[in-house]
Amino acid sequence: MSNTRFRINEMFETIQGEGVFTGVPAVFIRLQICNVGCSWCDTKQTWEAKNEDQRSFGEIIAKQGDSPTWSDVDAAEIVAMYQSQQFNAKHIVITGGEPCEYDLTALCDAFEAIGCRCQIETSGTSEIRVTPATWVTVSPKVAMKGKLPVLPSSLERADEIKHPVATQKNVDQLDELLQGVKLKGDVVIALQPISQKPRATELCIETCIQRNWRLSVQTHKYLSIA
């Protein structure tokens, strides 16, 4: 197993609230560090990994609520913690932060070895290093504070492209991103309204019907779950 280490912000069991796997029981692994800089980000506590915020893995598992604390662990330790917590979910969602700041191959390998399926949620601004079986959800972040471009290679690897939408400009940005990119033949393209805004939702519904795309609703926000 690779000696790649991960800075983990939290790990918990819940229901996947958005995208293709909406409603599926899942264990979320949230990794620390992100340089994208989305203004509407609801996990800004993961952007930096300050030395004074480092904690034991046990403290990270036990913490309640959002905080910038993190633990330095490897894939074997993460899987061992998953097993010791006796989680039921076999769907593992690796998110962030920006999870692709890390080589995720060893972590996905380790979970697949015990019969789990892995999904990553990435902005598409970093190289994607995962196993072939990993479900890759790219949520393209365009013109953000970090000024990082969305990589064509990330879009080409995507099993699902889940694009946040507030206005028509965001739909146009997605069209521009996809021009000339050789997507997977069975890739799912979904539009996700930002912040549950009614006009954004209407726009997403109209566009999805016109293009035979999918609507992704953040059901966890309506249900008030993690």
- pLDDT at res. 3: 60
pLDDT at 119: 98
Contact in structure between 92 and 130 (CB atoms under 8 Å): no
pTM of the model: 0.92
CA dihedral angle for residue 37, residue 146, residue 160, residue 118, rounded to 10 degrees: -70
Tokens representing 51?
């030395």
| Confidence bin at 40 (pLDDT 50/70/90) | confident
Instruction: Identify the band that residue 224 occupies on the pLDDT scale cut at 50, 70 and 90.
Output: low
Q: What pLDDT, on the 0 to 100 scale, is given for residue 195? A: 67
pLDDT bin (cut points 50, 70, 90) of residue 1 is very low
9 token code pair: 């912000």
- Quick one: average pLDDT of 195-208? 88
Domain regions of the chain by residue span: 5-223
Range in 88-97, 115-124, 149-158, 195-204 the model is least confident about: 195-204
Q: What percent of the chain has pLDDT over 70?
A: 94
Annotated binding site for Mg(2+): 43
Least confidently predicted of 2-6, 64-68, 113-117: 2-6
Interval 179-190: pLDDT, tens: 999 999 999 999
Q: Which residues are annotated as a binding site for S-adenosyl-L-methionine?
A: 40-42, 97, 139-141
User: Which residues are annotated binding-site positions for substrate?
Assistant: 15-17, 30, 95
Mean pLDDT of 212-216: 94
Range from 56-60, 86-90, 99-103, 138-142 carrying the lowest mean pLDDT: 138-142
Name the architecture of domain 5-223.
Alpha-Beta Barrel (3.20)
Return phi, psi of residue 13, to 5°. -105, 135
Bind-site residues:
15-17, 30, 34, 38, 40-43, 95, 97, 139-141
Instruction: Return phi, psi of residue 76, to 5°.
Output: -65, -40
Count Cβ neighbours within 10 Å for each residue of 163-183 and write b for 16 or more, e otherwise: bbbbeeebbebbeebbeeeee
**Of residues 225 and 1, which shows the higher confidence score?**
225
Both structure tokens of 219: 């059901």
- Residues at the binding site for [4Fe-4S] cluster are 34, 38, 41
| pLDDT bucket at 37, cuts 50 / 70 / 90 | confident
Higher pLDDT residue, 222 or 196? 196
